[in-house]
């Protein structure tokens, strides 16, 4: 499913506006807990709510069936994150959930897997949240500065505490590598 026309540019603007609200320089790492506070969400480790063995059981039934989800309780948002994921993946998962909130996506139906409830969202909303969440973590200006320093997706992932997959996705989809290569060819 393709993102609607103009969404990528809107996501970049939103990510930069969020960084401004946090008084972050455009090339500074973002602390996802601070973003959560700004958006009025509380991040909770799922093992505080469910025995870790249950999470491992769900994982054995279907790998990556649960990474993170958002619940609204008494007007407050709680993002529940799976502790079985790497810290870098947890950051991405929380950013994705925060993007749902920032975009005003409606929390949709609850489904149950092996007695554990999960929320579902439509495919368009999921794609938007994935894109905006990744953009919050690695906005284009940050990637451009890093590419000019000859950083690779691997070094960007390490420096900014995200997965290599997320860094590669942003590095490749923003066109910064091509832009920097053109600049070098033109002698800038």
DSSP for residue 78: E
The string of pLDDT tens digits covering residues 23-55 is 998 788 999 999 999 999 999 999 999 999 999
- Between the CA of residue 129 and those of 9, 19, 56, 154, what are the distances in Å? 14, 17, 26, 23
DSSP for residue 76: E
DSSP for residue 49: T
Q: Are 136 and 15 in contact (CB under 8 A)?
A: yes
Strand residue runs (E) in the chain: 41-45, 68-73, 76-81, 110-113, 116-119
Q: State how far the Cα of 115 lies from the Cα of 36, in Å rounded to an integer.
A: 28
Percentage of the chain exceeding pLDDT 90 = 72
Q: Say whether pLDDT at 111 is over 90.
A: no
Per-residue confidence (pLDDT) for residue 121, from 0 to 100: 64
Residue among 66, 54, 81, 51 nearest 120 (CA): 66
Give the DSSP H/E element, type plus range, for residue 50.
Answer: none
Per-residue confidence (pLDDT) for residue 85, from 0 to 100: 96
Q: Say whether pLDDT at 13 is over 80.
A: yes
Q: Are strands 68-73 and 76-81 parallel, antiparallel or unpaired?
A: antiparallel
Per-residue confidence (pLDDT) for residue 142, from 0 to 100: 95
The string of pLDDT tens digits covering residues 64-103 is 888 998 888 998 999 999 999 999 999 999 999 999 999 9
Per-residue confidence (pLDDT) for residue 25, from 0 to 100: 86
Per-residue confidence (pLDDT) for residue 19, from 0 to 100: 93
Q: Are 16 and 137 in contact (CB under 8 A)?
A: no
Q: Are strands 41-45 and 68-73 parallel, antiparallel or unpaired?
A: unpaired
| Mean pLDDT across the chain | 91
């Amino acid at each position: 499913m393709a993102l609607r026309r103009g969404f990528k540019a809107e996501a970049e603007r939103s990510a930069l506006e969020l960084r401004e609200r946090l008084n972050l320089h455009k090339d500074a790492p973002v602390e996802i807990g601070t973003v959560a506070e700004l958006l009025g969400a509380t991040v909770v480790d799922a093992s505080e709510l469910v025995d870790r063995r249950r999470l491992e059981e769900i994982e054995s039934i279907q790998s990556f069936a649960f990474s993170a989800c958002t619940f609204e309780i008494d007007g407050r948002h709680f993002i529940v994150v799976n502790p079985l994921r790497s810290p870098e993946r947890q950051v991405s998962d929380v950013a994705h959930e925060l993007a749902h909130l920032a975009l005003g996506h409606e929390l949709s139906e609850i489904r149950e897997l092996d007695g554990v409830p999960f929320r579902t969202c439509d495919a368009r909303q999921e794609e938007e949240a994935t894109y905006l969440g990744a953009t919050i973590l690695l906005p284009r200006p940050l990637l451009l500065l890093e590419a000019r320093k000859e950083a690779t997706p691997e070094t960007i992932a390490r420096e900014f505490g995200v997965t290599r997959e997320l860094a590669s996705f942003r590095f490749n989809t923003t066109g910064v590598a091509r832009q920097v290569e053109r600049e070098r060819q033109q002698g800038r």
